[in-house]
Amino acid sequence: MGKQVAAVIGGGVIGGGWAARFLLNGWDVQVFDPDPQAERKVGEVMANARRSLPGMVDVALPAEGKLTFHDTIADAVSGAVWIQESVPEQLATKHTTLAEIQKACLPDAVIGSSTSGFKPSELQLGATRPEQIIVAHPFNPVYLLPLIEVVPTDANTPAFLDAAEELLTGMGFYPLRVRKEIDAHIADRFLEAVWREALWLVKDGVATTEEIDNAIRYGFGIRWAQMGLFETYRVAGGEAGMKHFMAQFGPALKWPWTKLMDVPEFTDELVDLIAGQSDAQSGAYSIRELERIRDTNLVAMMRALKAQDWGAGALMNAQEAKLRTASPMGIRVDDMADVSAPLLTVHRAVPLDWTDYNGHMTEAKYLQAFGDATDRFMNMIGCDAEYIAAGGSYFTAETHIRHVDEVLAGAVIEVRTQVLAGAGKKMHLFHKMYEGDRLLATGEHFLLHVSLETRRPSEPAPHVAAALERVAAAHAVLGSPEGMGRAVGQRP
Ligand SMILES: NC(=O)C1=CN([C@@H]2O[C@H](COP(=O)(O)OP(=O)(O)OC[C@H]3O[C@@H](n4cnc5c(N)ncnc54)[C@H](O)[C@@H]3O)[C@@H](O)[C@H]2O)C=CC1
Ligand SMILES: C[N+](C)(C)CC(=O)CC(=O)[O-]
């Protein structure tokens, strides 16, 4: 199957983010944007995305797609099965753009609009084929955050929407289908209310921009990232739960706690006040630096949720399981005709939170990668979760790692595993870590099969022993790898 093709119309903050998400999930992307700076801007977004997205999951994403820039919308949409409109938030501009797209695009392609506020019925007005236009509202940075609000009208068939959502899911997105079209969909209704209230707090001199941000990031912002609003409030109701919470705090909604219905007028004075406070708060960083700080934090938070298999982290685990099944690492030794070459046991990108103050992968993570390679190899010979639950496993008795060359966040690494010896209780592995052809590190590990009941060495089950012995026999002809049995400090 050839690569899937997406068109991105408008390559600013959001279009650039969409382009990165498509490309890093293996799609080819065709961009149209009249701004002569568009190629540079999309390139900078791509650089940030390459550094942060690929390492968010623990298995490699598909090979990056091809990015091209086009002089006309007709050229850009040619052959595209998904067209994402991300032009400025003006209805007239959206209408002209959608009309041009529809003149040249495939009649069954999905045309998603990134609009933050317009309803899909407004976008479909006067369209040649309203049935192919939906709102697909993303969140910045589009290459990291999973949510897409999918807002349809009755013109869009359920089959069309299901197919669109499947394409989004394939890129790690979480499509949230909005039941009823409404100005600003779900999330922006909410964000606008919070923003309005914050503007009042600054205008009335109650808080500075920095104090408001601190009130969010030291408190409820962290809570929201993992449980949202209602689940958090349910817990806040104590043992009596949601009903008690509503009885206690419901009346406060009618107290003068909020000014939500009014918007302060954007006088020059208010704009200068807010922009000045924002400069004082964050002006020491460029926007690109702030983006990188934001991305590093987001990746760390999402990987923490991944470890808990919760919320956005559970979504990433589901995507990873699909990617793993499609990779050669999902195959058992018993199902492989040829095991004569070292086996691929890790194929992933280096996550941002694996790097250190020297700007490269930190030493502890080499052990993690080699530990993951050993786990994967165990799985491949049949020492899987079921086998371990039944009481058999391997314990590592000795490890020797050599750091040969450095590697940076976002780089795709592979570990290939040679079995030096594998008989009875003993398993002696030699892992080599590469970025492309470049050797980064080696890891030599000696393991013993144990009974998890007695915690003592024990013979592996016959099927595990047979698979291990088969690979060991096939690898015997490879000879001793360079660096095997090396002592610390020994010269090469
Ligand atoms: N910035 C944000 O936080 C979010 C914005 N959105 C929505 O995404 C859309 C785009 O917003 P941003 O990317 O923030 O704006 P932006 O100003 O960063 O980018 C808009 C891009 O469209 C290009 N453009 C202008 N006229 C065009 C035309 N006729 N054809 C093709 N390209 C054209 C501009 O050169 C620019 O590169 C809007 O509908 C906005 O509401 C959605 C989610 C978040
Ligand atoms: C400010 N905004 C309305 C453009 C925000 C969005 O639409 C979503 C986001 O990324 O916060």
For the chain (492 residues), the mean pLDDT of every run of 10, in chain order, is 89 98 98 98 96 92 96 98 98 98 98 97 98 98 98 98 98 97 94 92 96 95 93 88 87 72 87 94 92 93 95 94 80 94 95 92 96 96 96 97 94 97 97 98 98 98 98 97 88 68
Of ligand 2's listed atoms, the one at least distance from the Cα of 139 is: 10
Torsion of CA 413, 419, 420, 424, to 10 degrees: 140
Q: 73 near 32, Cβ under 8 Å?
A: yes
The domain 5-177: what is its CATH number? Answer: 3.40.50.720
pTM: 0.90
Report the nearest-CA residue for atom 3 of ligand 2: 116
171 three-class SS: coil
Please give all residues whose beta carbon lies within 6 A of any atom in ligand 2, as ranges. Answer: 116, 139-140, 188, 191
Which one of 3.40.190.10, 3.60.21.10, 3.10.129.10, 3.40.190.150 gives the CATH number of domain 330-476? 3.10.129.10
Q: Which ligand is nearest to the CA of 193?
A: 2
State the DSSP string of 310-355.
-THHHHHHHHHHHHHHTSGGG--GGG-S---SPEEEEEEEPPGGGB
Q: Which ligand is nearest to the CA of 144?
A: 2
**Distance from C-alpha of 50 to C-alpha of 303, rounded to nearest angstrom:** 16
**Distance from C-alpha of 18 to C-alpha of 260, rounded to nearest angstrom:** 32
Of ligand 1's listed atoms, the one at least distance from the Cα of 115 is: 39
Report the nearest-CA residue for atom 8 of ligand 2: 139
The whole-number pLDDT of residue 384 equals 95
Domain boundaries of the chain, sorted by first residue: 5-177, 187-284, 330-476
Can you name the CATH fold of 187-284?
A: N-(1-d-carboxylethyl)-l-norvaline Dehydrogenase; domain 2 (1.10.1040)
Work out the number of other CB atoms within 10 angstroms of the CB of residue 362. Answer: 14
The whole-number pLDDT of residue 460 equals 98
The whole-number pLDDT of residue 260 equals 66
Work out the number of other CB atoms within 10 angstroms of the CB of residue 30. Answer: 24
Predicted-complex ipTM score: 0.97
Of ligand 1's listed atoms, the one at least distance from the Cα of 16 is: 13
Question: In this structure, what are the phi and psi dihedrals at residue 189, rounded to the nearest 5 degrees?
Answer: -55, -45
- In terms of C-beta distances under 8 Å and separation of at least 24 residues, what long-range contacts does 237-243 make, across chains too? none
Q: 127 near 155, Cβ under 8 Å?
A: no
Q: Which ligand is nearest to the CA of 141?
A: 2
The tokens describing 322, both together, are 């699909």
The whole-number pLDDT of residue 54 equals 93
**Distance from C-alpha of 371 to C-alpha of 390, rounded to nearest angstrom:** 21
Testing ligand 2's pocket by substitution, the residue of 116, 176, 298 carrying the most ligand atoms inside 8 A of its CB is 116
